[in-house]
Structure 1
Amino acid sequence: MKFTPLFVSVCLAAILLLGGCTSKFAYNNIDWMMYWYVDDYVDLDKSQKVLLDEKVEKWLKWHRQEELVTYRQHLADLKADLKNGNLTAQQWSKHIQRGSDHWTRFRNQISPELAELSIHLNDTQIQEMFDALEKENQKKEQKRNKKSAEERWENAIEDTQDQIKKWVGKLSKSQKDLIAEYTVKFLPTFEGWIDYRRNFQASVKNIMLSRHDVSNYAEEVDYMFQHPVLFKTPEYQQASEHNRKMYIQLLLELQTTFSEKQTKHILNELDDLIDDIDDLIDD
């Protein structure tokens, strides 16, 4: 089972590099930190790094000027809804969708230029990059396969409880039991997710290696980036939608059990994120 908690989904982009002074430092230095990540997959030459620098600077300017305000508004709206009382299933669903939209906008903003950048990679670099990605896939599989089905569910329950605890504070026994009850209702999605990764990676690799023979290469790659659903099986999509609905049901029940202290904890966490975003906007 691959499962993203609602609060992380709602605040996905905001939380990505936020949540404290260390996170703000990361956001303000993402340009050079990005190379640590890129180096895990491909070695760029000097000219390629110059091209990437130009794009990253452009993306960060766009993100700081336009996206941070959007994240802040979303967090403020979520806070207001929580203060007004228990959210309905429709409200939770809208917040989840808004969280997903943050990622979609970011992806759609950078994918055309990522496609253009990929033209400058040579065949060796392309093979190197996808070999590294496949090695990562295998590591994820090996880590998962070392555990029994029972161990995986136990870990999933513990992870979900820990993730929610971060937002609401200490959980009561009944809250832990409720989370465990719902977690086991989630459908396993790891196999569908890893198949999706491999299908997507294989398709992108094939067109990248044929880039000189495809007249509309950049447009084709950009289309793949912006339409990942094409690489997801119907079964995987159905399981993911089932899990989303189950999580909303969990939240509907869980929110009725929040103590005054827990509600305050959630609101304080949201305030901290909003303050962090304000600081970044003012920088």
Structure 2
Amino acid sequence: MRKCRWLVLVICFLFTGCGTKFAYNNIGWFVVSYIEDFVSLSNSQESELEERLDILQKWHKETQLPLYISQLEAIRNVDRSDMNPAFIVGQSEETKEHIRSIVNKFAPDIYALSMQLTPKQDSEFLKNFREKQQDYYEERLLLNDEDSRERYRNRIEERLERWLGSVSKEQKQIIYTWSLEWVNTNDNWRQYQNNTYQDLTTLMEKKSDLHIAQPIIMNLLLNNEAYYPDELESKLNKNMQTSAKFLVDIAAISSDKQWAYFMNELESLKGTLESLQE
């Protein structure tokens, strides 16, 4: 089920420099705690999940961290003047592949554990899942178009400050133009939520029928695109291309101080990832 997505998010945070060695080494505790926000686990279920997470972490440390380090080195080796949209899109796809690798590795474990949930646990999970979907909808997807674009601008600016240290007036103007070209997908994500919830409901009702349950679980874990409404994928691709274009523009006018800050952040992140291998 989609409960494993938090694990993926944690790994993503580590990859973008927001994690710590403590968090990584205690990932099992954090994941179990988060999952129990959705469903109360028995002692045996919790122990089994922790064991499986320990195995996943060992695999991740040995096989995935070196890939992240290699990608960081590739980014550091690209000259600012050679930065182009194709390179940025390629880095985005490579990062997505890292995430897919984790999900593919852990999917059989999540499937096995989901089959152990009792009907009462299934109901609890479904109720909490829907409530959290609704919270997300009210916080983000209910925003009108103008507010959504403002939120998008603020998020871009925060991320750029994270990597460049500051954002110039000229770069803020690029961000503003970027937000105007961004395709608002709020309505599509709302439909995606509904599609996901509908399949989860079917799963809870038909879990004993593996011909129905297994394809649903595999879609939830490995093929989220199956729940995309019409046009969402094309809109996301359009937004990716738009992002790449404007990131190149921002890099092109970045100051030497900003670029040095970016390089230092990449080096620091590389050091963090190398320490996680110890």
CA gap of 1:96–1:17, structure 2 versus 1, over 3 A, is closer
Match of 2:60 among 63, 81, 85: 63
CA gap of 1:230–1:14, structure 2 versus 1, over 3 A, is closer
- Where does structure 2 lack aligned partners over 5 or more consecutive residues? 1-8
Match of 2:70 among 73, 80, 83: 73
Counterpart check, 1:26 vs 2:27? no
With 221-230 and 168-177 compared, the bigger mean Cα shift is at 221-230
- The residue type equivalent to 1:159 in the other structure is R
Matches of 1:29 and 1:76 in 2, distance apart?
27
Alignment check: 8 A CA contact 1:31 1:53 kept: yes
Matches of 1:141 and 1:234 in 2, distance apart?
19
User: Offset at 1:149?
Assistant: 3.2
Secondary structure, in 3 states, of the residue corresponding to 1:85? helix
- Where does structure 1 lack aligned partners over 5 or more consecutive residues? 1-10
CA gap of 1:17–1:242, structure 2 versus 1, over 3 A, is closer
Match of 1:249 among 245, 256, 260: 245
With 135-144 and 117-126 compared, the bigger mean Cα shift is at 135-144
Deviations 1:57-77 (A, max 9, x none): 111111111111111111111
* Aligned position for 1:7: none
Correspondence list, 1:100-139, <5 A:
100-139=96-135
Counterpart check, 1:258 vs 2:254? yes
CA gap of 1:216–1:116, structure 2 versus 1, over 3 A, is farther
Percent identity of the aligned residues? Answer: 22
Alignment check: 8 A CA contact 2:207 2:213 kept: yes
CA gap of 1:110–1:145, structure 2 versus 1, over 3 A, is closer
Correspondence list, 1:89-238, <5 A:
89-144=85-140, 147-214=143-210, 217-218=213-214, 221-238=217-234
Alignment check: 8 A CA contact 1:12 1:103 kept: no
Matches of 2:15 and 2:82 in 1, distance apart?
29
Match of 2:34 among 32, 37, 47: 37
* Aligned position for 2:14: 16
Alignment check: 8 A CA contact 1:168 1:262 kept: yes
* Aligned position for 1:6: none
User: Offset at 1:79?
Assistant: 1.1
Secondary structure, in 3 states, of the residue corresponding to 2:77? helix
CA gap of 1:96–1:145, structure 2 versus 1, over 3 A, is closer
**Alpha-carbon RMSD:** 2.2
CA gap of 1:224–1:19, structure 2 versus 1, over 3 A, is closer
Alignment check: 8 A CA contact 1:112 1:219 kept: no
Alignment check: 8 A CA contact 1:14 1:68 kept: no
* Aligned position for 1:5: none
TM-score by length of 2: 0.89
Alignment check: 8 A CA contact 1:126 1:205 kept: no
- The residue type equivalent to 1:16 in the other structure is L
CA gap of 1:223–1:172, structure 2 versus 1, over 3 A, is closer
TM-score by length of 1: 0.88
CA gap of 1:151–1:41, structure 2 versus 1, over 3 A, is same
Alignment check: 8 A CA contact 1:167 1:269 kept: yes
Match of 2:267 among 256, 271, 277: 271
